Chains A and B, each alone.
Chain A
Amino acid sequence: MTKRDLIDEVNRRFPHLSHRDAEVIINAIFDSMVDAMRRGERIEIRGLGSFVVKHRRAREGRNPKSGEVVSVAAKKVPFFKVGKDLRLRVDGKAPLLEEEGE
């Protein structure tokens, strides 16, 4: 499934919204999540999981081919941790029901 499919499905479920509306809202969802991560905020979506930004310190690395020492700058990396409910559902261990179960 791509973002396009997601937009189509939302559009199908909400006939009073235009396709463009569905697209705008879905883009706003992910944009707001990216913005939160940029601020270093943790995001918790119940039933899905959480996103955190981890800090990687600067370090000395090595070019594996030439053996040359290079410095790797500090950086921030996003991480996702799956929530328990979805972890079980993906593994086929939880029933599809309780869509609202949070």
Chain B
Amino acid sequence: MTKADIVARIYEKVGFSKKDATDVVEATFEIIKTSLEKGEKVKLSGFGNFIVNSKRPRKGRNPQTGEEITIVGRKVLTFKASQILKKDLNTISSS
């Protein structure tokens, strides 16, 4: 599934114009990305939370050469699926 499939579903089933569906889908993901870029959490009830975590710098080793290197601190994005989504994936579909 891609953005195009999501757009198609919105204008076919929900009944918005193709243009509105496309624009709103684009805007939605863009707003989410901009918020995450600012380091904010994005909480989507029923779906899950996107959280930006800071990783401290740590020592690592090149497994091939054994050379010790410093792994720099960085920010990483993680997704935590909601309990509802986890449950949904494990129940037999009736819809």
Does B88 lie within 8 Å of A90, measured CB to CB? no
Does A38 lie within 8 Å of B33, measured CB to CB? no
- Tell me if A72 counts as interface (CB < 8 A to partner B): no
Kindly state the interface size class of chain B when it binds its partner. Answer: 35 or more
Contact with B along A42-65 (1 / 0, CB 8 A): 111111110001000000000000
Show 25 residue pairs from A and B whose CB-CB distance is below 8 angstroms, ordered by the A residue.
A1-B32, A1-B42, A1-B43, A2-B43, A2-B44, A6-B31, A6-B44, A14-B20, A14-B27, A17-B20, A21-B16, A25-B14, A25-B16, A25-B28, A29-B10, A30-B46, A35-B95, A41-B1, A43-B1, A53-B89, A76-B89, A78-B81, A78-B89, A90-B77, A99-B30
